[in-house]
A and B are shown apart, each in its own frame.
Chain A
Amino acid sequence: QVQLQESGPGLVQPSESLSLTCVVSGSSIATGHYWGWIRQPPGMGLEWIGSVYHSGNTYSNPSLKSRFTISVDTSRNQFSLKLTSVTAADTALYRCARQYSPNYFDSWGRGILVTVSS
């Protein structure tokens, strides 16, 4: 059974950078699939941030203006998200997920709440 666990800071100052990591167990990133990041502001819907393949190929949501960088570390079986110049609008629950086929997300992490505030 695939399990994903997000980690990172829960509080970030405005204008700073945010880095999150997703550790995968029960499935090897190196064997395939895309791996994605999705965020959800409190009380709102789901927003796809971007996805990464085990080769390092990435694609991301164009509406997020390239502030996001997604990378993969197959040796540690994890992938990461970096967001620069955060604002209050980036406050959200951030989840990582396996993007199967790659048409859909079949396994999700529990998520980490990131609050941007001074």
Chain B
Amino acid sequence: EIVLTQSPATLSLSPGERATLSCRASQSVGTYLAWYQQKLGQAPRLLIYDASNRAPGIPARFSGSGSGTDFTLAISSLEPEDFAVYYCQQRTSWPPRVTFGPGTRVDIK
């Protein structure tokens, strides 16, 4: 079974700074990787799908990259509303499985 590892667990940054979040898979997932943002008390919000495609309505400051086992979510310049928890998620075709990473919390420094 594929395990996703996210690093760092917590990232403390100031508004305007660049954030770089990592997601590593225990085996190749191709580009079947998505990123979500979750704010306290809210449902997760899809940011990036298929590793590098921004979901509709997601600002251009969010970008995703990677393939195989190593993926990155970058936020070019943090806005106050970007401080949240970010999860990566993968799907395998066979056996059909979905896995979420443990999350990275982006805190205000």
Contacts and interface: CB of A to CB of B under 8 A. Distances in A.
Contacts of B49: 100-101, 103-104, 106
Given A48-B100, A59-B96, A59-B97, A105 B46 contact: yes
A104 B96 contact: no
Contact of A48 (B43, B45, B99): B99
B31 to A, nearest CB: 9
B92 to A, nearest CB: 10
Interface residues of B, number: 24
Interface in A59-105: 59, 61-63, 95, 97, 99-105
B94 to A, nearest CB: 10
Interface of B: 1, 32, 34, 36, 38, 43-46, 49-50, 55, 87, 89, 91, 95-103
The 5 closest A-B pairs by CB, nearest first: A104-B34, A108-B43, A59-B96, A48-B98, A46-B100
